[in-house]
A and B are shown apart, each in its own frame.
Chain A
């Protein structure tokens, strides 16, 4: 069984936000408006965290795209009282919107703030109604949502592969952010497959994981030169 993971090369990331937009349009992410976004109620499954190192002429900016990390030892799934978020087959951390009661325990538990609460009804402007992705359900008001690693694409690819009576080919399941990245900074695939790009990159000495000391064992790895930025 595959263990889906992601590697993001920070040296390649230009912070262009195309992954953010691709994610929003792929997953029918609701708009909350400028005012509510300022209050921290905006929803962005994929978020680019900007870090400025140094000052003046020596200032360097590092962009850090942050999807859900689908942790191996996920803190969010342990606190859910209704089992709406749980570790599904193939290690993806699933979020079941119909079962979610909106208690937001998981949001508190997640050290990466990857979970978002729907404070308002998803009001997509009329002009964009036809742009909604029919493969992803529109979430109700009052439930928590997060990056699913475009799980619907996995389901679709699996169904297609089963129909053609073959195994799922590597590269057949791609996430929207990976597909849209102009510099190929995002690599996605099976971490358990030793030959895959993603597992080779994850094993390289440039790889690190965010807040590894927490023991959550995220399945999203970052690549960085290391010496380039002195923190």
Chain B
């Protein structure tokens, strides 16, 4: 009798173990593999809203991708091209508009909490300062009160790998090929492994089939990326 109990206990244990491993297997990564890394950013910037809903081109903000090695994080002044005027969500602005008409008073500017973080980095206080923002008027003294947004880098390669955005973008590869469907992400997440095998397999594949029916030479020599 006790023997049977032990057998059942053991079987249950094994079953639970297998179940646990199966569930965890999805999030199991080798050392240095940051797949599915999605850190909390200092500002809840939504790529879904900007790149998805608004259909803003990736390179409007990440303008370096086509012309330089790094795609780059846009300067806050790029954000201010739109957010000088768009200080809150459309819904919040409409609501304020309605309330103001009902109460028969001038419309008050609405500044959302998240965007306030953006304005704070530029040292802008209040709606008037925001409306008067002009990047050309930033003096060295003024610049001292500004701080860059401490964005957390997600797609990070080790220091011994050199990656150039230019050849990849200019050959006609979509950004989504490596960065995943960014336009559907509320918070940016690393979709691919960015491991060497993943790079090399893609290079092999496209050297054979070409990109957009154009033949390409994607080298797989070590010194292409490691020097």
Which one of A88, A94, A159 contacts B167 once the chains associate, using CB atoms below 8 Å? A159
Partner of B223, one of A151, A162, A163: A151
Known interface pairs A135-B162, A148-B227. Does A163 touch B167 (Cβ–Cβ under 8 Å)? Answer: yes
Q: Any chain B CB within 8 A of the CB of A63?
A: no
A163 touches B222 (CB 8 A): no
A137 & B219 in contact (Cβ 8 Å cutoff): no
Q: Is the CB of B223 within 8 A of A92?
A: yes
Q: Tell me the interface secondary structure of chain A in the complex.
A: loop
Query: Which stretch of A96-104, A186-194, A217-225 is in the interface?
Result: A96-104
Q: Does B69 contact A (CB under 8 A)?
A: yes
Rounded to whole angstroms, the CA-CA distance of A152 and B227 in the bound complex is 6
Number of interface residues of B (CB under 8 A): 16
The smallest beta-carbon distance between B204 and chain A, in angstroms, is 16
B221 touching A162 by the CB < 8 A rule? no
In the complex, the answer to whether A97 meets B162 with C-beta atoms within 8 Å is no
Q: A97 contacts B160, CB within 8 Å?
A: yes
Name the B residues within 8 Å of A148 (CB-CB).
223, 227
Judge if A89 is at the interface, Cβ distance under 8 Å.
yes
Complex CA distance for A136 and B221, rounded to whole angstroms: 17
Q: Does A36 contact B (CB under 8 A)?
A: no
Contacts A137-B159, A137-B160 given; indicate if A97 touches B170 (C-beta within 8 A).
no
B224 at the interface (CB under 8 A from A): yes
Q: How far is the CB of A185 from chain B (nearest CB, A)?
A: 26
Q: Which residues of B contact A110 (CB under 8 A)?
A: none
Taking CB atoms, residues of chain B closer than 8 Å to A155 are: 162, 223-224, 227
A109 at the interface (CB under 8 A from B): no
Please tell me if B164 contacts chain A, counting CB pairs below 8 Å: yes
Q: Does A21 contact B (CB under 8 A)?
A: no
* A138: interface (CB < 8 Å): yes
**Cβ of B165 to closest chain A Cβ, rounded Å:** 10
Q: Is the CB of A99 within 8 A of B170?
A: no
Encode B209-227 as 1/0 by CB contact (under 8 A) with A. Answer: 0000000000101111011
Output the least CB separation between A72 and chain B (Å).
Answer: 17
A88 to B227, CA, bound (A): 12
Given contacts A98-B160, A137-B160, contact A162 B222 (CB under 8 A): no
- Give chain A residues whose Cβ lies under 8 Å from the Cβ of B222: 86, 88, 94, 96, 99
Given contacts A88-B221, A94-B222, contact A159 B166 (CB under 8 A): yes
In this assembly, does B101 line the interface, its C-beta being within 8 Å of a C-beta of chain A?
Answer: no
Closest to A165 in B: B170
Q: List 25 A-B contacts (CB under 8 A).
A: A86-B222, A88-B221, A88-B222, A88-B223, A89-B219, A94-B223, A96-B223, A96-B226, A99-B222, A136-B227, A137-B159, A137-B226, A137-B227, A138-B159, A148-B223, A148-B227, A151-B223, A151-B227, A152-B162, A159-B164, A159-B166, A162-B166, A162-B170, A163-B166, A163-B167
- Residues of chain A at the chain B interface (Cβ within 8 Å): 86, 88-89, 92, 94, 96-99, 135-138, 148, 151-152, 155, 159, 162-163
Given contacts A152-B162, A159-B164, 13 further A-B contacts (CB under 8 A): A86-B222, A88-B222, A89-B221, A94-B222, A96-B222, A99-B222, A135-B162, A137-B160, A148-B223, A152-B227, A155-B227, A159-B69, A163-B166
